[in-house]
Amino acid sequence: MNQEFNTKKMLKENQQKVSSNQGGSSSKGAVKENAPTKKHISYNKYDDRVLKGEEKLMERFSCGYSSLHKMLILKELSNQFSTPYL
């Protein structure tokens, strides 16, 4: 299965916005307006094949765990909700 994914680099002006939102100190309990959302994935003891598959895909697409999941979500969204070419 040969699939091409969008691997364009982020514009410098957008990189600055992202980096400024990730760093810095804030008081306890204060939530930044554009703070990144964090979610955790739980694996059962029999999910070894999922973990091995993640490692293979990360190596194949030369990306990290977070980027891989974002890429796969966007790919599936386009498959499920895009208008097929006739």
* 8-48 pLDDT per residue, tens: 555 555 555 555 445 555 555 566 678 888 888 898 989 99
Whether 1 is covered by a domain: the verdict is no
Residue 52 to residue 24: CA distance in whole angstroms: 35
Whether 51 is covered by a domain: the verdict is yes
Based on its alpha-carbon atoms, the radius of gyration of the chain, rounded to whole angstroms, reads 17
Average pLDDT, the chain: 77
Whether 34 is covered by a domain: the verdict is no
Give yes or no for residue 64 having a pLDDT over 90. yes
Assign residue 66 a region (left: φ > 0; alpha: ψ between -120 and 50; beta: otherwise). Answer: alpha
Query: In which domain, by residue range, is 85 found?
Result: 47-86
Whether 16 is covered by a domain: the verdict is no
